[in-house]
């Protein structure tokens, strides 16, 4: 999945440049969801119109990931600014347009087997 995460770095950078920065853009592999990754995102622009934002994000993902790679994504989740998951991540690793990798953690009561944080930063 590292190669796919690198491709998603490009998506994050394109969308950041076009629409505005992310507070979070990260892939999570839950222990109970083998080979199905969740893409968690948070940004002001994505929250303003979740449906249109999700359509745009998915369109950009489809440009860089093959059909086989796209099947590995379970869902795309737009987090609210006050979401506990976002607060917890901001207390940990800070990264922007990078690729921080973590594994075997308990996150908000969920067993996370693997994660790639492309952007995780607190926006004022």
Domain that holds residue 25: 2-120
pLDDT over 80 (residue 43): yes
pLDDT of residue 90: 63
pLDDT of residue 109: 67
The tally of domains found in the chain comes to 1
The CA-based dihedral angle spanning residues 31, 113, 56, 86, taken in that order and rounded to the nearest 10 degrees:
100
Q: Is 25 exposed, middle or buried (0-12, 13-18, 19+ CB in 10 A)?
A: buried
pLDDT of residue 71: 92
Distances (CA, A) of 69 to 51, 58, 72, 79, 104: 23, 13, 5, 23, 23
* pTM, 2 dp: 0.87
Predicted confidence (pLDDT) per residue in 61-107, tens digit: 999 999 999 999 999 989 888 877 677 666 667 788 888 888 887 76
């Amino acid at each position: 999945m590292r190669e796919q995460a690198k491709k998603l770095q490009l998506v994050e950078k394109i969308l950041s440049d076009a629409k505005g920065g992310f507070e979070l853009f990260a892939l999570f592999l839950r222990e109970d969801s083998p080979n199905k990754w969740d893409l968690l995102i948070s940004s002001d622009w994505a929250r303003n119109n979740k449906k249109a934002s999700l359509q745009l994000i998915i369109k950009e993902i489809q440009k860089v990931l093959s059909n086989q790679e796209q099947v590995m994504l379970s869902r795309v989740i737009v987090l609210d600014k006050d979401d506990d998951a976002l607060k917890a991540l901001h207390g940990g690793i800070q990264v922007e347009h990078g690729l921080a990798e973590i594994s075997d953690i308990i996150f908000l009561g969920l067993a996370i087997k693997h994660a790639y944080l492309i952007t995780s930063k607190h926006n004022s």
